[in-house]
A and B are shown apart, each in its own frame.
Chain A
């Protein structure tokens, strides 16, 4: 809400300048986002009167004007505006003047003729196109009243004013009118507003002779009032009214429309004016629209209405969308002579829905949906009628129509002094609190430490004691409140095991060289479903901002791949990133997805780059597997995690990928991206992993029991075997462990070889087997016997040749 400092000063005594006011109000009531000093930077802009006008001899559009600017002699100005005429009162930028955009005006010649200044359009002073009156949008501005030549044009235009931008939160719609602002400022400085209301003068013809008004359902329009002003002449509004509007950011249109806007800005009460003669029938009925009923609104748009919309009808057809926008069919135009003014209160929810539905949010609808001061519905109507009659030389019909009405009553809210002090942590006394309520213009009665506060309808946001506490606190000043820490019985602050585990997982990966990335939870549909560990039906948002962020992710790798692409595009070739976050998995038949904590990692390029001392080491499958194993080790799982070759994931290399299986359940993925996928995405060789942390956290853990350090020595045996290429290490280790005997403590693979001196379809693997007894020293015979079982089993079960 743009608040004119000058207008405000007419309504309440403001003891400070605009900047100080803005600062103060921000601290006690409503945030003032900015204070704009209109006309700042402009100078030497005066009123001029065009005394004589001839065409420029060497131009088909320029004129030579002799302008009275209050000097001894007339000033000659060459002007190209098509609407310049002799006798006009205009804006003149004198030589040396500064106009908008810090442009300087100089004496000069135009096509050989001296021009001693410039006659200005409003836009040339910095008026926005949205507020400059349309009649002058293609030419100079012409005042519609005589002004003293040479006097300050900025003053005449109201551009010596300052505008405070009040950021009105939804609860303070009372300050969407100047009167509400005046009450707020008055409370801040302990001043009472003064509004100087004048009575409306009515003619003899009763309003009932013009029309009737009825409301179908009072819930839709709890208050509905109308007046008629007859015999009006549509014309420009006087300068004072135009000034007031454009300083509030509203474009002046004509005297009738301008009055409705002025009243809305002044009272916060939206009004609507109908052209009486355009109403087909004169039985106003406020009702719900019929399904598919048609209405063309003032902006020229056609709407097909439904039964949630409240409409104003003339008894036959809709003539306005109640509280939102008028119909084109009853618009005030230049030939209007009889005006019907509506001042009402409509059901906020319907207004909000209708305005949203047809994308017609207006100053009116935003006020109706937040509520209005029901005590001013009739006052606003009367003042509008009075002004329209005055400015249009018309007559106000006798009386007003009231199809429904609200009795304005104060709301009594009770609160005790103890309660206020209890909530604020203060020790206020009764006198202080009473004074604060009085400054707000509230009635106060005190009885046994309890205040009965009479809140007038203009503060409809106040209904419960908490609201009163806020009023007291803000006016007293939050800065003046004490500052303490809560004193409660002791509470223990600590992470839950799950929270601690997630944080620990992050730290481990960071220690292993991966930096944490945070990518978007909403991704595109394709990315969402890639790299799935658990199945899901997919979860889409209804109205995404873009298809790139439309579906909830079911994996974390896709986000890391996006980050990789971002880095690769910036020539960052070596990456080690991880993300810990949630994936969203929806089961068939469920609406709501489950949220599972996952972790994923991505590597590409070199782990270490070559330098004078180190060789470059590029990432490969086994490095990433080592990282994953290290992390898994920290989870101390009771059962081993198996790596099962994964050949059919479309995004993963069919020969270099595995799923991780724990107790029969897939808990993760690891592998290189499919070269085809890498190529399509413009990625280098990339390795990824992903783990379902929920599964890991829920899995059984091995007991942590201390074991003494072994007392007896270990013995080792090395074995090298030749097996078919297809035989996996896991199968060999499994055989060794099965038959290894109770003294076998460890099996370590120390060599894998295929190539020269080995048959083409074979490979050689070499293991060290470690044996130990914990009760005595092993004998050679014991080890030899155990080892022999291993060699036999490898031969028998896997066809291994012992080398």
Chain B
């Protein structure tokens, strides 16, 4: 048998053998046996010395080709076997992805905080400052500066917790208006502010009354701020909080610190104004009070009402939340039932 035939036979025999192997180690051993220094191909190449010079390169080239081919067959088989190993491993590692995941607990911001954050974000975007004020307030700022002198009948509108004669738990966030007006330097620009926070009234706690609740007060003062600006601002915030399709309407009302004073209704976000239980079949829900700042309030704070004017508004996050989420008991906000607290995942 000539060397070439020998090589061909070698290839044929081993190709079949390699393809039948199922073990990577065996394959490796086969590779060493076949292609190593003691292997049959090396053996064949060694025998080339007996060939004449013209045959030698041909056989040599052929032997190398056979060697390459066998290497390819081995590599191919190796890839197949490796893939099988991986497949097997992956199969072993397969899990039931429908089993429940670990419980990773995150806390939830209070729903009132979420509502106030939302309102703050809106007004900050409109260039308003957020200003905090004391919760223990002087009668002077809570009432007198706001055009509610002692013994004014309007004091009946809010029953207040006093600590002595002149100190009280603020019954509204409006005193922050008065404090800010007093110190604001109008030569540096207009005043645009909101003031969120806790307020207190002498109410007996029940489903609709709480001696502690929240307000967000807003105030804009400049040389030319109009009631139309108030309307536009309130419409924008109503749409921000209650949805872009909302409309508002203004009704006459009375607050001692604004003139004109209005109460503001938003079209019912549940029924869109057609009438439902939420809006008591009127299509409208009262959501805030507002008005043009009373000249006495400006004068009291040392601001000239002939030059400056503007609007103020106040809204109640507790009421907003109750309306928006259908909460029927205001006490739920303050009792801390974690099932209640944690249900309000943040929107947006």
Q: Which residues of A does B touch, CB under 8 Å?
A: 26-31, 169-172, 348-349, 352-353, 366, 369-370, 422-426, 464, 466-467, 469-470, 473-474, 478-479, 481-496, 499, 503, 506-507, 509-522, 539-545, 549, 552, 559-560, 562-564, 566-567, 570, 572, 575-578, 581-582, 584, 591-593, 595, 607-609, 611-614
Contact = CB atoms under 8 A, between A and B. Distances in A.
B120 to A, nearest CB: 8
A171 B129 CA distance: 32
A567 B203 CA distance: 25
22 contacts: A30-B252, A31-B253, A478-B252, A481-B228, A482-B231, A486-B232, A487-B224, A492-B127, A493-B124, A493-B127, A493-B129, A493-B130, A495-B130, A506-B109, A513-B107, A516-B341, A542-B161, A559-B336, A577-B336, A595-B135, A609-B103, A614-B102
Interface stretch (B2-10, B42-50, B59-67, B257-265): B257-265
Interface in B203-257: 203-205, 211-212, 220, 222, 224-229, 231-233, 235-236, 249-254, 256
B151 A485 contact: no
Contacts of A522: 161, 169, 200, 211-212
A487 B126 CA distance: 11
A481 to B, nearest CB: 5
Interface stretch (B11-19, B30-38, B152-160, B268-276): B152-160
Interface string B321-348: 0000000000001111111011000000
Contacts of A506: 109, 113
B134 interface: yes
Contact of A515 (B232, B262, B338): B338
A519 B334 contact: yes
Contact of B107 (A28, A30, A514): A514
B334 A485 contact: no
B309 A423 contact: yes
A170 B100 CA distance: 62
B277 interface: no
Given A484-B226, A515-B342, A566 B108 contact: no
B143 interface: no
Contact of B228 (A424, A466, A559): A424
B163 A483 contact: no
B157 A607 contact: no
B127 A490 contact: yes
A628 B272 CA distance: 47
Nearest to A511: B106
Contacts of B313: none
B162 A542 contact: yes
Given A521-B200, A613-B102, A542 B164 contact: yes
A483 B228 contact: yes
Given A577-B336, A608-B103, A423 B227 contact: yes
Contacts of B183: none
Contacts of A539: 136, 163
Contact of A612 (B99, B123, B134, B294): B99
Contact count band on B? 35 or more
Contacts of B220: 486, 488
Which of A486, A492, A522 has its CB near the most chain B CB atoms (within 10 A)? A486
A739 B250 CA distance: 74
A518 B136 CA distance: 18
Contact of A470 (B107, B136, B154, B261): B261
A595 B134 contact: yes
A506 B341 CA distance: 14
A482 B233 CA distance: 12
A470 B260 contact: yes
B251 A510 contact: no
B253 A169 contact: yes
A501 B245 CA distance: 35
B141 to A, nearest CB: 12
Contacts, number: 264
Nearest to B103: A608
Given A170-B156, A510-B106, A541-B162, A517 B336 contact: yes
B16 to A, nearest CB: 49
A486 B335 contact: no
B167 interface: yes
B202 interface: yes
B111 to A, nearest CB: 9
Nearest to B149: A349
Contacts of A581: 198
A108 B60 CA distance: 132
Contacts of A563: 335-337
B295 interface: yes
A74 B12 CA distance: 132
A469 B153 contact: no
A493 B119 CA distance: 13
A486 B212 contact: no
A478 B253 contact: no
B319 interface: no
B107 A543 contact: no
B189 A170 contact: no
Interface of B: 99-100, 102-103, 105-110, 112-113, 117, 123-130, 132, 134-136, 138, 151-154, 156-157, 161-164, 167, 169, 189-190, 192, 198, 200, 202-205, 211-212, 220, 222, 224-229, 231-233, 235-236, 249-254, 256, 259-263, 292, 294-295, 309-310, 333-339, 341-342
A491 B192 contact: yes
A530 B137 CA distance: 24
B162 A486 contact: no
Contacts of A608: 102-103, 105
Given A495-B130, A611-B100, 8 more contacts: A29-B252, A31-B253, A424-B226, A425-B229, A469-B260, A482-B228, A486-B225, A570-B337
Contacts of B129: 491, 493-494
Closest 5 CB pairs of A and B: A563-B336, A425-B226, A425-B228, A169-B254, A470-B260
Contacts of A560: 336
Contacts of B212: 520-522, 549
A499 B189 contact: no
A714 B103 CA distance: 37
A170 B338 contact: no
B124 A494 contact: yes
A547 to B, nearest CB: 13
A464 B295 contact: yes
Nearest to B203: A545
Contacts of A426: 228
Nearest to B294: A466
B259 A467 contact: yes
Contact of B337 (A485, A486, A566): A566
Nearest to B333: A518
Contacts of B263: 31
Given A466-B259, A491-B189, A422 B226 contact: yes
A474 B109 contact: no
Contact of A493 (B125, B162, B205): B125
Contact of B211 (A470, A490, A545): A545
Given A484-B232, A493-B129, A614-B103, A353 B151 contact: yes
A562 B336 contact: yes
Nearest to A561: B336
Nearest to A491: B127
Contacts of B226: 422-425, 484
Contacts of A464: 259, 295
B261 A478 contact: no
Contacts of A27: 249, 251-252
A544 B161 contact: yes
A466 B296 CA distance: 10
Given A543-B161, A543-B202, A370 B153 contact: yes
Given A370-B153, A466-B294, A510 B189 contact: no
A486 B226 CA distance: 8
A196 B250 CA distance: 36
Contacts of B154: 170
Given A506-B113, A560-B336, A515 B136 contact: no
